[in-house]
Structure 1
Amino acid sequence: MENGDIKLQCYNKGCGQKFDSSKNTDDSCLHHPGEPFFHDAYKGWSCCNKKCTDFTEFLNIKGCTRSKHSNVKPPEPEKPVKQEVNVDEVIEVKPIIPTVKERPPFDSPMTTMRPEIATSLKQQVFSIATETVSEKSSDEIAIGTTCKNGGCSVSYEGPDTNKSPCAYHPGVPVFHEGLKFWSCCQKRTTDFNAFLSQIGCTQGEHLWFKEDDDKKSVQCRWDYHQTASHVVVSIYAKQYCVQKSVIELSPVRLKACLLFPEQNNTTFQFDIELRGIVDVESSQVFMYGTKVEIKLKKAQPGSWSKLDIPRVTPSEEKPKLSAADIEITSRVDAVDLDDL
């Protein structure tokens, strides 16, 4: 057999042909210079964008580069060195015990969180003029305000109204077994209109503001869910003041105060001791048009059995009642007539 008839095997990837060394030119071999890859059911070559899911189709992908044929075998991958195992060796396996962080005290300093405000809520807030959200002076009395003393129905018409006498009931209204009366004067009646028209038994000055007017609160629905790394608390609320609503956080405490200007500046108060410890710097607050979302980053991954640890607030000492007061309290239900 002549040398010209000897065929050599080409070992370039993707070629697989036999060639005549005397006719081997720079464009004789069509192959892939890259490496094959197999990922997520796809099969292809790193040197070109050709890939498929069928293995036979993968083998038939034509090369992307031309060069001379090569009959040099690529080096075989090194086999892992087999290590001898000492059967007499005792291997001690210890469980991994996570480190437990020391729990900070409940009264630790709190950080006022800077919320991220949704774009739609920003447009809603800043489209309102500043004058509409400014608070009225504490000394200003709106025309038409009704005297807050029980039994007085005088409305404020101007400074001269303060000169008129205020006849009111210093006690509380009582409804019991069909009877209606004031605890201060005991004038009983069964007719509700007659009860409302009873003239007060005490003379004094009109009261246009109650002491607890600025302490009124509103109830908002809230909920939470958690993952291994975060606890997300959602407070569902609308028309709250973004600028004056405050979210405070410490590693073991969450405190929220939402202000509602359109509801006579009522507030929603939320103050709990967290079941676990959180990373304050990695936690976030988001304000939307329908809710406030507080994303707490857990200091240690895991699951909390509950969101909070119930705190027992020491009850205030109640004043001692006389025998007459005890008898009335045990028999009647007091109601507030301000909203009637």
Structure 2
Amino acid sequence: MEKAGKLRCQRIGCDAVFTEDDNPEGSCRYHDSPIFHDGMKEWSCCKKRSHDFSLFLEIPGCKEGKHTTEKPVLTKPAATPKPIPKVAPGPDVSSKEACSRCRQGFFCSDHGSQVKVTNSYPPSTALVSPADSNTEEKKVVSAPAKKIIDINEPQTCRNKGCGKTFKEKDNHETACDYHPGPAVFHDRMRGWKCCDIHVKEFDEFMTIPPCSKGWHNADSVS
């Protein structure tokens, strides 16, 4: 606590005790406002800096004057104005509209016009490759619905391209080789849409190897 008549100087970097009768010019050494940036402490007046705050406060004041009880108003240092990027002038619209090549959509070295490319396909039309359509057709036949049957009774598989005789006790998810279909007959060509194989002769058509595996099914498959 200050003694009677003693005052505490409020200048940054001074903090000395004085009296009004003993306050000559030059008795106070102080700093202007500090700058804090990225862990660095710096005095804006003398540009002296330090990372350690205690050492920063011990830097002697660089300015002189009288002690005062008025707290200084800290002003932020003026920011360095950023250069405004220059925008390149755009093409002359009026001359571009008057240019015959630009109006027709051809490339123009003077105005940068380019040929307009139009899409030959309707926007809602999606191109589907044969491989994609085949993938949709190749669905594994699920296990047949449960019914009361004799597991030792011989049955004939009705899956397309199979026709084998089987017993239910031997049936499993890869027991049957078949075509998920459908069969395609067009312009004297015969084939299966599932595996995209087409031949001219019916005998050759009947010998096209099945392309999928699944359960045998004694019920007719549409």
Query: TM-score, with normalisation over the residues of structure 2?
Result: 0.34
Q: Which has the higher strand share?
A: 1
TM-score w.r.t. the length of structure 1 is 0.23
Q: Kindly name which structure, 1 or 2, has the bigger radius of gyration based on alpha carbons.
A: 2
